[in-house]
Structures are given as C-alpha cells and as structure tokens.
Amino acid sequence: MSRIPETHMTPDGPAYEGRLLDRADEPVVDQGAPFDIRTLVSRRGILGLVVLGAGTATLAACAPAASSAAPAKTATATASASPTAASSSTPTASASSAAAALPAGEIPDETAGPYPGDGSNGADVLEQSGIIRSDLRSSLDGGATAAGTPMTLNLTVFDTANGDAPMTGAAVYVWHCDTEGNYSMYSSGIENETYLRGVQIVGDDGVVSFTSIFPGCYDGRWPHVHFEVYPSADAITDASRAIATSQVALPKGTCDTVYSDTSLYPSSASHLTRVSLDSDNVFGDDGGELQLATTSGDNASGWTVSLGVRVDTSTAPTAGAAPGRR
C-alpha cells in the first residue's frame, strides 16, 4: 500500500521536504503541477550530486598510477531524463538507441486542434499533479486505463537556433486519441479521464520517451499524435509559452497491421481507406514529409515510433487551436 507523503509544520505553515505547500489545506499529492515541478527539480539536483559523488569515488578507486601519458576524459554522471517515469510492462528503448537522425528542416507548425487539454480552451491537464510522467495509459487520478496495442513514442528534439544541439531541459507535452478516436477530457463518457496525455523533460541526448497505445484512426484524419514543446517544465502551465506545436504522422504500413486487430480497433481500418497523407487537412501540404515517423515492432510486443523534431526558437510559432477534429 502506498504511503501518503507526510508534511511538517513550520512557523510559516505546513511544508514538505522543506518547501511550503502552495495549498495549505490540501494534501501533498493535490498541490498541483508547479509544486510537483519544484519537488522534481530539487530531487534531481540531490540525485545528481549523489550519483556524481559515487562516480567520482569509483573513478578514483580504478584510476591507474600517475604517468606522463595524456589524462583521460572524465565521465560526468547525470540524473535520468525521465525522472517520474511510471513502471511499464512495455519495453522502452534506451536513451542512446532512441535518438533519431537530424531532420532536413524545422518541424512544421500545426493546429493543436480542439482537444489540447492545455488550458487554451478551458480543459487543463497541465495544471494537474503527476502530469510529468512517461506512462500515459492511465488517468492521473487512477481512473480508467486505455486499452490498445502497446506503443513507445520517442521524440528527439533539436535546438536549431543553437546549432541543432539537443534541446536539453525543454518540456514536451504529448496527447492523442484512443482506439476509437476519442480524446480524454472532451469526448462523451470520458470527460473526467486524463489518459493518453503527459509531459517529459528533454534529456542531454535530446530524447523524450513515452509509453502509450497506438492511436486509432477516426473519420477524416490521418492517424497522428499531437505534441507541444515548451522551453522548460516551469512553462507548461501557460499554453501561450509553447515554442512549437505539431503532430506526428504514423506510417500506413504500420497502421494497416495495427488496425487488422478489429477487436481493439473496430473502425480504424475502414476510416483509413477514406484518407491519405496527401488529402489530410494537416499533413496534406507536403504529405507529412518532416512529420512521418519511423516504426519497428509488431502487434504482440508493441511498436516503437520515432521522430526527429527540429525546433527553431528564432522564429515565432504560428500554430494554434482550430475548429474541427484536427
């Protein structure tokens, strides 16, 4: 049984791990995203010091006697790029193997659609505690869990304005529909669910990785995953601070294979026959040239979906919400 985090009383009010609670009359788990982010940053800093200390001690113990040879490079220990990753039965690619190649151009700006859940049209999951997570399959409050073919989504984010270096420290918010084309927080019957939504922080290799399910295909749209890139974890509670908004296009061959399981995807194969990358109202400009992911895997063990994303912070973002199921 999970233990509820304990607070202690200070002259200024109740506190947890030395930080005053933002909402003094609420428990630690209900303090909201800003408090979670401060706790995360604090823990990552401590973890980094502990790991670095251990690594230094190990290097010292293993170091050879001094010689006239040139000194070897010193390894630098860093905390995990997925600090709040939930446990998962689906294997996730390692950081080194997950990194994608540099794309040919900047990721196109696209609409966030009518179901962003980022506060821009009312519903806001980014203010909720626990939104920084890697496993998106269950609702944040422990409610429903979305069923479907397992999918690991790896996005490699490059900072084009900084010589295409990894955009370390940026926050990536991902959301997509379920197997029947419905979106949590909006669609009928699942307005109170928050599954298939979450945020990860870009690591030193530029990669964020999410465990989810393969999205279904609904009528009129090519199968896709939405994402927004923010400059930092602190910025996610203000949708206007997104520096890129775009979508990942899923390859047809993989979609055909996934949607052949009609027990999980009852209508997706039929919907897919009525749309193409060229006719889609989002990817149709160029057939999704810079947004088409690469995939590997199978229906039994799950699919790995990967995309390189170049973000140019020197240009103003042009995307935004729009009417219709986009």
Q: Where are the domains of the chain?
A: 1-79, 95-311
Give me the percent of the chain exceeding a pLDDT of 90: 66
Measured in Å, how far apart are the chain's first and last C-alpha atoms? 41
Q: CB under 8 Å to 160, separation ≥6 — which residues?
A: 106, 310, 311, 312, 313, 314
Least confident of 23-32, 81-90, 112-121, 306-315: 81-90
> Is the pLDDT at 152 greater than 80, yes or no?
yes
- Confidence category of residue 237, pLDDT binned at 50, 70, 90: very high
Average pLDDT over residues 308-320: 87
The angle at the Cα of 110, spanning 319 to 240, to the nearest 5 degrees, equals 30
Strands (E) in 48-115, as ranges, are: none
Least confident of 25-34, 43-52, 108-117, 264-273: 43-52
State the pLDDT at residue 67: 31
Q: Which pLDDT tens digit goes with each residue over 168-215?
A: 999 999 999 999 999 999 999 999 999 999 999 999 999 999 999 999
- Confidence category of residue 318, pLDDT binned at 50, 70, 90: confident
Q: Are 264 and 281 in contact (CB under 8 A)?
A: no
State the pLDDT at residue 160: 97
> Is the pLDDT at 289 greater than 90, yes or no?
yes
Average pLDDT over residues 87-100: 50
Distance in angstroms (rounded) separating the CA atoms of residues 227 and 311: 12
- Confidence category of residue 74, pLDDT binned at 50, 70, 90: very low
CA dihedral angle for residue 255, residue 247, residue 178, residue 182, rounded to 10 degrees? -120
The model carries a pTM of: 0.72
> Is the pLDDT at 70 greater than 80, yes or no?
no
Q: Are 44 and 37 in contact (CB under 8 A)?
A: no
- Between 141 and 52, where is the model more confident? 141
Cα–Cα distances in angstroms (integers) from residue 7 to residues 13, 14, 24, 220, in the given order: 10, 6, 10, 50
Task: Indicate the CATH number for domain 95-311.
Answer: 2.60.130.10
